[in-house]
Structure 1
Amino acid sequence: MIELTKTGIDGLDEILNGGIVKNSTTLVSGNPGAGKSILCLQFIYNGVEQFDEKGIYLTFEEDEEDLREAAESIGFDKWGEYVDNGDIKVYDKKVLLRENDFSSSLELLLDDFEDNDYDRVVLDSLAMFELFFENEQEKRTYLLKFTDILSENDLTTLMTNEQGAVFPETEIGLENYLTDGNIYLIQTPTESGVNRYVWVAKMRKQDIETDIFPMEISQGGIRVHQNASAFSMMSEDDNPL
């Protein structure tokens, strides 16, 4: 029986057929402004708020106060309270980049990773994580090591990845093959703004809905709608742009 970790995000658990596989690492990719960080904040916040699961948030791009303001601005009003009482542990860029060495940063994290109190982890973002390494081989080795440590300690993890292209089929990196699941957040311009979509491209060990589903970002975070979009990302002929 495969154990699942619910995201608590409206509509997303339904297309995942119950949630993300427990102890897995899922890559959340999208171009700037697509909602990657919001999804990850929501994943950690919902873990505490809805499922009594504590979380660790690693951010190489924000400091702790900025992250708190971002969470509260989207409607996660108890974020600060959960950080203060230890339900959410934040490691921000000031801490993670202090030594400019991944091994040193990992040493800081191991005690919390090995503490059975925590269930969920976010790494935001993989692009900044990669700055620690000089070449692709070193990056791959440490990414595998890192994901193995997370899985061994029963942690369900989301990692964000910056995607330059609107459609992910044009830009597939090595990290997509090293993770257990791939979720793409897509935004396409319209005359009145943008349309937003989510595509779950891969989830090892479970059946998933692989259509593209419309989503929205509003107060309270992300909501995924169940009516699949009319176009398919897998065919250039159907590209709405």
Structure 2
Amino acid sequence: MIELTETGIDGLDEILNGGIVNNSTTLVSGNPGAGKSILGLQYIYNGVEQFGEKGIFLSFEENAEDLRQAAESIGLDNWAEYVENGDITIYDKQVLLRENDFSSSLELLLGELDDDNYERLVLDSLTMFKLFFETEREQRTYLLKFTDILAENNLTTLMTNEQGTVFPETDISLENFLTDGNIYLLQTPTDSGVNRYVWVAKMRKKNIDTDIFPMEISDGGITVHQNASAFSMMSEDESPI
């Protein structure tokens, strides 16, 4: 029986058929503004709020105060309390980029993992993480090493990744093949704003629903809707599935 970690995000666990595989690493990709960081914040927050699971949030792009404001702006009202009491541990850009060396940042993280029992981790974002390395070979080596360390410490991890195109099949990167799962957050402009969608393209060791589902971001964060056919984003010929 495969053990799963529920995200606690309305509608997402349903299309994941129960949640994310324990001790796996899932890549959450999307273009700017698609909701990647929000999904990461919810995942860590819901771990504490709904399931009593402690989490680590690694942010290469924001400081701790920015993260608090972002969390509270979508209704994650107890974020600051959970950070203060140690249920959520944050390594922000001021810490992670201080030495400009990933080995130093990794040593900090390993010290934290040795002392406490965490079950969830978010890395936001892999785009900035890759700036530590000069070559693709280095990126691949350290990413594999890092994901192995996370799995060995029984962490179920989400990594966000910037995607330059609307349609994911035109922007497949190395990371998509190195991680256990791929979730794409898509958005398309309309006359009245933006339509948002989620597509779970891959999840090793389990069956998933690979339709494209509509989602929205409102107070409380992300909600995924199940009636995929009523929210057609593209024609059948254009579908990446």
Question: TM-score category by the smaller chain?
Answer: over 0.9
Deviation at 1:30, TM superposition (A): 0.2
Please name the residue that 2:159 is paired with: 159
- Whether the aligned pair in 2 keeps the contact of 1:113 and 1:150 (CA below 8 Å) is no
Please name the residue that 1:20 is paired with: 20
What secondary structure is seen at the aligned counterpart in 2 of 1:114? helix
Distance of 2:239 and 2:196 partners within structure 1: 16
Quick one: which amino acid aligns to residue 23 of structure 1? N
Q: Does 1:65 align with 2:60?
A: no
Calculate the TM-score normalised by the size of structure 1: 0.96
Please name the residue that 1:10 is paired with: 10
% identical equivalent positions: 78
Q: Specify whether residues 233 and 199 from structure 1 end up closer, same or farther in structure 2 by C-alpha distance, changes over 3 A only.
A: farther
Please name the residue that 2:112 is paired with: 112
Deviation at 1:221, TM superposition (A): 0.4
Deviation at 1:233, TM superposition (A): 6.7
Distance of 1:164 and 1:190 partners within structure 2: 19
Please name the residue that 1:131 is paired with: 131
Please name the residue that 1:207 is paired with: 207
Quick one: which amino acid aligns to residue 125 of structure 2? S
Q: What do you get for the CA RMSD once the two structures are aligned? A: 1.5
Quick one: which amino acid aligns to residue 35 of structure 2? G
What secondary structure is seen at the aligned counterpart in 2 of 1:33? coil
Q: Deviations over 1:139-161 (max 9, x none)?
A: 00000000000000100000000
What secondary structure is seen at the aligned counterpart in 2 of 1:94? helix
Please name the residue that 2:173 is paired with: 173
Distance of 1:32 and 1:237 partners within structure 2: 22
Q: Does 1:183 align with 2:187?
A: no
Q: Deviations over 1:10-66 (max 9, x none)?
A: 000000000000000000000000000000000000000000000000000000011
Count of aligned pairs between the two proteins: 239
Q: Deviations over 1:182-217 (max 9, x none)?
A: 000000000000100000000000000000000000
Q: Specify whether residues 195 and 122 from structure 1 end up closer, same or farther in structure 2 by C-alpha distance, changes over 3 A only.
A: same
Q: Deviations over 1:72-112 (max 9, x none)?
A: 11100000000000000000000000000000110000022
Please name the residue that 2:224 is paired with: 224
Calculate the TM-score normalised by the size of structure 2: 0.96
Distance of 2:239 and 2:3 partners within structure 1: 36
Q: Specify whether residues 204 and 222 from structure 1 end up closer, same or farther in structure 2 by C-alpha distance, changes over 3 A only.
A: same
